[in-house]
Each structure stands twice: as C-alpha cells, then as structure tokens.
Amino acid sequence: MSSSQYTLTAQELDILSSKAIAAKAMAYCPYSKFRVGACILTQSGEYIVGANVENASYPVGTCAERVAFGSAVVAGHHDFKAVAIATDTDPPASPCGMCRQFMNEFTAPSFPVYMYGSGRNYTLKTMRELLPDSFGPDDFGGEKVPSP
Ligand code: THU
C-alpha cells in the first residue's frame, strides 16, 4: 500500500475490524445463514457498519458492503480510508462482483479492503486487485449531476 491516505494506525484497524466482526450479528440471513459484516472508516474518522439483509425473494437481498457504503453515502460521506469485511469462513470470503463495482464508485485503485474470517487474521487486497480494468465514474461519458 503506497498511498498514505490509506495508511491505518493499529488502533484504527483494531476498531475497524472489531466493528466489522460485530456487525455480523446484525445480518438478516435466514435463507443462506451466511453472515457478513462490514465496516467503513471515512477520511473524517467515522466508522459506518453494514450487514447482509436477505429477502424471501432471493435476488432482492443486499450484501453487507452495499448496505455499509449506501449508509455512508447517505450520511454525507464520499471519502473513505478503508473497509473491513467479515464472514465466518476461512479463508475469508472476498466481496462479490456486484459489491466490487459498487465500492469502485467511491474508492481509488489503491483503496484497501481488509477481509476477515473466523479469527483476527486478515487478507488485504486493493480495489485494483479486486477489480482490475474497472469501469468507474471517470469512464462515464455523460455529464454528472453534482452532489448536493
Ligand atoms: N454476501 C455479502 O454480504 N457480501 C458479499 O460480498 C458476498 C455475499 C451475502 C449475500 C447473501 O446474503 C449471503 O452473503 C450469501 O450469498
């Protein structure tokens, strides 16, 4: 990880991972029983969590990462420092394709994604590694309406 804007202190990583792991308890996953928790650290120092929320109509369910990033964005955050994602599986699961694209909207190629399984060990990957050759806001030819 080269960019200092994405360098976490040991304390930040400890809080981030603890909140992602704790967020698994909030998952609504009666169908898959596969709990996923997520936590984002904003550049302003806030922690925003999410968990997967399933639905009786299966495709309607939402992943933890999109719940977390959606919550962060509607809370007014667009600048993020890191995300942690926690599952109960070893090795840790990594984000689905739809979540990679969703996160790509708000993150740079060197943005760090920390993935936790059942313990405190993690796998660390950048967005560039998870979604190479991505299509993002800079590739969008149309005019973007400014955010409020
Ligand atoms: N899930 C996530 O929350 N994040 C991912 O990146 C992969 C999958 C959820 C969706 C569904 O509720 C359950 O895990 C099983 O696929």
Q: Whose CA is nearest to atom 3 of ligand 1?
A: 63
Known active-site residue 105: no
Set out the domains of the chain in order of their start, with CATH numbers.
3-130 (3.40.140.10)
Percent of the chain exceeding pLDDT 90 equals: 89
Confidence band (pLDDT; 50, 70, 90) for 143? Answer: confident
- Cross-strand pairs, 28: 53
Sheet strands (E) in the chain: 37-42, 47-51, 80-86, 112-116, 122-126
Q: Whose CA is nearest to atom 14 of ligand 1?
A: 34
Confidence band (pLDDT; 50, 70, 90) for 1? Answer: very low
**pLDDT per position as a tens digit, 89-114:** 999 999 999 999 999 999 999 999 99
84 is written with which tokens?
């942690």
* Helix, strand, coil fractions of the chain, as percent rounded to 5: 35, 20, 45
From 29, 49, 52, give the residue whose CB has the most ligand 1 atoms within 8 Å, as the site to mutate.
Answer: 52
Could you list the residues known to form a binding site for substrate, using ranges. 52-58
Nearest C-alpha neighbor of 66 from the set 47, 81, 93, 85: 85
Q: Rounded to whole angstroms, how far apart are CA atoms 37 and 18?
A: 10
Compute the average pLDDT of residues 71-75: 98
**pLDDT per position as a tens digit, 38-56:** 999 999 999 999 999 999 9
Could you list the residues known to form a binding site for Zn(2+), using ranges. 63, 96, 99
Ligand 1 mean position, distance from CA 54 (Å):
9
Q: Which residues contact 44 (CB under 8 A, 6 or more apart)?
A: 77, 79
Q: Rounded to whole angstroms, how far apart are CA atoms 47 and 45?
A: 7
Minimum-distance ligand 1 atom for the alpha carbon of 52: 3
Strands 112-116, 80-86: pairing is parallel
Confidence band (pLDDT; 50, 70, 90) for 148? Answer: low
